[in-house]
Structure 1
């Protein structure tokens, strides 16, 4: 995680231009997601839950909010370049692995490339 720290930054400009949502508790960020859509390309860049709060439903809460945001924007499909440890979470929610992407933090690591397609029952 420390090696990837510089890659885990969401800039002020990205917050202004894209969908960034945070769950905060008494001034401490417990989780967030960052979603970006340019033209017909859409990608969940980050969905992160503070490790102390994993297993308490925050990831699912962020995911449900993300689906509402995506649906309102008229997007029906998006990509996820997943941390290998998070792939099972995304697949449980319906994402499908479609390939692999090289890691920007570690040239020896390949990351699962997933795709999620909304259907009529998502985010409703």
Structure 2
């Protein structure tokens, strides 16, 4: 199915947030872990104002989302989530390529990704290089692999 990328609309924040949670839960996390991630995975109106957020959709509806932010410390892939029934169909790759192009348009020389450990192989296939680790924004004492993609 052809995939359309378009900027996320304010009315879609709740549906997109639910997609993020479903996609994260795909990796087998329990309810307590998912509850601790809820706030970090919820998209807000502030995100729409401050960041670039794109929705991928096809005939069946919302297939995935990606969020890129940039500040004085760098350009970050904040979120890249694919709906569970679309995993392995190229949605993530298309969203990641959009993220790279967006980072370039923002004048960045690299895109920083703090990845879920289960998603690490995907980012490595996309050309990211491991660059240490980062503290999870949701779970105290949990560290995530940190990647950098030179632009």
Fold-level similarity (TM above 0.5): yes
Find the counterpart in structure 2 of residue 115 from structure 1.
148
SS of 1:48's equivalent in the other structure is strand
Q: Structure 1 runs of 4+ off > 6 angstroms?
A: none
Match among 56, 59, 72 for residue 39 of structure 1: 72
SS of 2:138's equivalent in the other structure is coil
- CA RMSD for the aligned pairs? 1.7
1:76 and 2:109 equivalent?
Answer: yes
Larger deviation, residues 26-35 vs 82-91 = 26-35
Shift of residue 25, structure 1, vs aligned partner: 3.9
Within 1, Cα distance between the matches of 2:67 and 2:138?
Answer: 18
Whose helix fraction is larger, Structure 1's or Structure 2's?
Answer: 2
Match among 95, 112, 119 for residue 62 of structure 1: 95
Whose strand fraction is larger, Structure 1's or Structure 2's?
Answer: 1
SS of 1:47's equivalent in the other structure is strand
Shift of residue 94, structure 1, vs aligned partner: 0.9
Within 2, Cα distance between the matches of 1:83 and 1:100?
Answer: 11
Number of aligned positions between the proteins: 118
Shift of residue 97, structure 1, vs aligned partner: 1.0
Find the counterpart in structure 2 of residue 90 from structure 1.
123
SS of 2:95's equivalent in the other structure is helix
Structure 1: tracts of 5 or more residues without a match: 119-124
Structure 2: tracts of 5 or more residues without a match: 1-24, 26-33
Within 2, Cα distance between the matches of 1:26 and 1:11?
Answer: 25
